Amino acid sequence: MRYQTTNSGFKLHCWFYLLATLFAFLISFPVILASHTIYHFQKSYGTSQIEDISRVSEIHGGFLLTGDYNTAPVVNPSKGLIVKTFLNGDINWVKKYTATGNLTLAESVESNDSGYVITGYLNYMPQRKILLMKTDSNGNVLWSKSYAESGDEYAFHLLRQTDGYLIYGFTGSAVFLLKTNLQGDVTWFRVYKSAVEDNPARVNPTRDGGFILLTQSSTGAPNVFQPCIIKTDHNGNLAWSKIYASSSIGNVGGQVSQTNDGGYIIASSSTAGISYSNNICVIKTDSVGDTLWTRIIGIPGEYYMVPITGQIDFNGHFVVFGYREFVPGQYKGLLFNIDMAGNIIWSKSSLSLYNEISFSKISSDSSFLLTGTSASSFSSGYNDFFMIKCDKDCNLGCYEENAPLISMNIPIVYSDASTFVTVATVTTTDILLNVTPAYFLTMTFCSDSTIIEDPLVDIDTSSLFVPNIITPNGDNLNDYFPGNKNKIELKIKIYNRWGELIYDNEGNSNGWNGRDKNGNLVNEGVYYYIINSLNPLSQSKEFHGYVYVK
């Protein structure tokens, strides 16, 4: 017999075949992952009725838009509205939510179990209450709660925390922060009052685990407001507050963000300078709110300009979004980029198809997400809404023109604000919401809406310093773990010696400052870490080991 197959020979042949197949797969694997689809688009959504979308959130596999819906002409009560889309902006599902009285949904975040948590408010006329609700991934309500203190509360913004949720809004003539646990039970409630009337503009987390609030505070003159920023710790206790003598006509919103140098940058409005009425005012401050420089920005001969929101981009610049009233009653969206020295890098305006850019967010693929009110496409003169996903330089592709902005260096007086903080008690009530599906039309603008195949990007971690000891004593030396010079995106998990997860930063690039999820400084000792560094395509490199906290 020339050839005889033994059992061991057969096994060896099988192992050889398996290894060869695995080797071929590993060689081809980088080819399989060699590109990542990035969608850029402009879409308008609507029905024959009235829709008003206030926020957009990036979620797994798409985006979630929240707002309210009403019949045309307006007939109370209004309904809460959630629109879930795929990554290309096409609608996945739409749900309407009703309760006794008017219901408005303000902002949403994705929960750990792939559901959604949404805040807003209920308007029972004359009483208003804060709303927080939890849904599954299809928008079905799992629980919903209302909160009341003075009986005149509006909720506008929502932040996800490792141990719950933070709501920012308006109560009476002041602003509030409401902290809950993951089940919506109240942890604490703080009321902040700096003037005759304070209106909430924006809240953002800060590197030390606290929060920075922007309010528009009344000067006492009719319909005249000034920006005020309030710094708190992680429990909402007041650290400091500053008010800036940049008067605007009306409560104009705005934005405050912490900058890479530990200071802050503010977008607000001012009657000083260039346009007939409000101009845009950008204020750069140090870490305690003292002004470093100011810019008044406007267009000569125009009537009114308003900054509604803004973002720190991947270059560390400040991108501001809002609208311009170029003649009375006619509006265009406005967006511009300003660096940390106060120089305008670029400025653009959307044509009147997009009346107002009301919210912005940077997505995980380095694109900008914009939403707001659009000219009627479906509703015979009533509001529709749009979502734009554009590149890192906000190139819209169409319906775009240059905005001839002029910048002036006008000093603005600032002072410590007399902010009073009240620890208040709220009443929590479980409420019943009715959910119904809805059908919306979608219109895609721009024939050059793009789908981009981006190659994989290697993750540069050369600026990441992972020490084996930190001393988080507040002296700004070795206070954070790890050292993250270039602020690359990190996911950090810290475990104690019993294997309990004590810190999860949810993508914050600032690092761990030796505090647990409740903000308490941990005991001296050894802790285990897992760090994942991400590039804009959410690819990851992992580091793990031990760090000593002294």
CA angle 464, 465, 468 (to 5 degrees): 145
233 and 167 fall within a common domain = no
238 and 300 fall within a common domain = yes
410 and 469 fall within a common domain = no
Q: Tell me the percentage of the chain whose pLDDT exceeds 90.
A: 27
240 and 280 fall within a common domain = yes
**How far apart, in whole angstroms, are the C-alpha atoms of residue 245 and residue 269?**
10
| Residue of higher predicted confidence among 6 and 266 | 266
Q: Is residue 356 part of a domain?
A: no
Q: Residue 66's closest CA among 113, 112, 133?
A: 133
Q: Is residue 322 part of a domain?
A: yes
Written as six digits, the tokens of 15 are 């192992």
434 and 312 fall within a common domain = no
pLDDT digits (tens, 9 = 90+) for 504-514: 876 455 688 89
For residue 18, the model assigns a pLDDT of 43
Residue range(s) defining the domain that contains residue 28 = 1-34
pLDDT at 14 over 50: no
pLDDT at 3 over 50: no
CB 145 within 8 A of CB 132: yes
List the single range of 108-112, 279-283, 434-438 with lowest mean pLDDT.
434-438
505 and 430 fall within a common domain = no
**How far apart, in whole angstroms, are the C-alpha atoms of residue 294 and residue 285?**
9
Q: Is residue 306 part of a domain?
A: yes
Q: Residue 373's closest CA among 359, 354, 388, 389?
A: 354
Written as six digits, the tokens of 307 are 């900054």
Quickly state the pLDDT bin for 450 (edges 50, 70, 90): low
230 and 319 fall within a common domain = yes
- Which backbone phi and psi does 27 adopt, to 5 degrees? -65, -40
Q: Is residue 387 part of a domain?
A: no
Spell out where 219-365 has E strands.
Answer: 224-232, 238-244, 248-249, 255-258, 264-270, 279-285, 291-298, 304-312, 318-327, 330-338, 344-350, 354-362
CATH number at residue 495: 2.60.40
Domain count, the chain: 4
162 and 221 fall within a common domain = no
71 and 182 fall within a common domain = yes
pLDDT digits (tens, 9 = 90+) for 461-506: 566 778 888 888 888 778 888 877 666 677 888 888 777 788 887 6
Q: Is residue 187 part of a domain?
A: yes
DSSP type of residue 290? -
Q: Is residue 17 part of a domain?
A: yes
pLDDT at 193 over 70: yes
403 and 278 fall within a common domain = yes
185 and 205 fall within a common domain = no
Give the highest mean pLDDT range of 74-78, 136-140, 220-224, 529-533: 136-140
Mean pLDDT for the chain?
Answer: 80
pLDDT digits (tens, 9 = 90+) for 309-360: 888 887 889 999 888 887 777 788 888 999 999 999 999 887 655 556 777 7
For residue 27, the model assigns a pLDDT of 38
Q: Is residue 375 part of a domain?
A: no
104 and 22 fall within a common domain = no
pLDDT digits (tens, 9 = 90+) for 291-303: 999 999 988 888 7
Q: Is residue 131 part of a domain?
A: yes
Q: 528 burial class (0-12, 13-18, 19+ CB within 10 angstroms)?
A: middle
When pLDDT is averaged across residues 152-180 and rounded to a whole number, the result is 92
pLDDT digits (tens, 9 = 90+) for 22-65: 444 333 333 333 345 788 888 888 777 777 787 889 888 899 99
